[in-house]
Amino acid sequence: MSSTASDNAWIRAENLHRGYSVGKKRVEVLHGINLEIHRGEKIFLCGPSGAGKTTLMYILAGLEKPEKGSIYVEGVDLYAQSRREQAAIRNKKMSYIFQNYYLMPELTALENVMVPAMIGGKDLTERARESLARVGLDQRMDHLPAELSGGEQQRVAIARALVNSPQIIFADEPTGNLDSRNGSQVMEMLINLTVEDNVTLVVVTHDEGLAVHGDRKLIVKDGVIA
């Protein structure tokens, strides 16, 4: 399949393979996955632990090169680009939300939200303030992560993901460290914000119940999409 085979796919994965060596043992994780993601879609990658969900997301997000296969972002073969070009695509078009928040403990909520903008050489202080206000933390901007609850820390992570106006957000178990009530609130907020901004969203979760919020639920099992 050529890079123009499906022009309406914002991201296209072709024949993805990935495995790892554990001691003398070879563990195959992905077995020839093909996938198209369209602009504005909300996709949930579900399945049991060890099925390959996170590996697939990392490859789609430009964080881990497949051993075989290609990722096209708007027709551009991502892993055929130089590392600098890959980093530029990630910083300009993509954002990430992780289960463990990954907030810098010495920075305030506002400063944490500004980090992606600073990496891109931008001053988006006002946009960072707006992002925190959108997630209901306009009164907590000057607080350190240790002064925030788990749900509040994840909302800071969502605000950080939005600050660069990404075209796609990848979220790896974004509610995994939250109780069911906070998890549901955070997921509903994330969906609503990405709908408002027409941002594509790919969520990895073991909780298939969360997938009711999305447009598509894909089950990853034994390295393939079931």
Q: Do residues 198 and 168 touch, judged by C-beta distance below 8 A?
A: no
What whole-number distance in Å separates Cα of residue 44 and Cα of residue 171?
Answer: 9
CA atoms within 13 A on the CB side of 214: 24
CA dihedral 192, 184, 91, 138 (to 10 degrees): 70
DSSP per residue, 181-200: HHHHHHHHHHHHHHHHTT-E
CATH assignment of 11-225? Answer: 3.40.50.300
What whole-number distance in Å separates Cα of residue 119 and Cα of residue 121?
Answer: 5
Cα distances (angstroms) measured from residue 62 to each of 21, 30, 76: 21, 16, 12
pLDDT of residue 118: 74
Q: Do residues 196 and 118 touch, judged by C-beta distance below 8 A?
A: no
Instruction: For residue 144, give the amino acid letter.
Output: L
What whole-number distance in Å separates Cα of residue 47 and Cα of residue 220?
Answer: 5
pLDDT tens by residue, the chain, 226 residues: 333 444 568 999 999 999 998 888 988 999 999 999 999 999 999 998 888 999 999 999 999 999 999 999 999 999 999 999 999 999 889 999 998 999 999 999 999 999 887 766 677 889 999 999 999 999 999 999 999 999 999 999 999 999 989 999 999 999 888 888 888 888 999 999 999 999 999 999 988 888 888 999 999 998 999 8
Q: Which residues contact 65 (CB under 8 A, 6 or more apart)?
A: 59, 79
Phi-psi region of 11 (alpha: psi -120 to 50; beta: other; left: phi over 0): beta
Residues in the chain: 226
What whole-number distance in Å separates Cα of residue 46 and Cα of residue 218?
Answer: 6
pLDDT of residue 99: 87
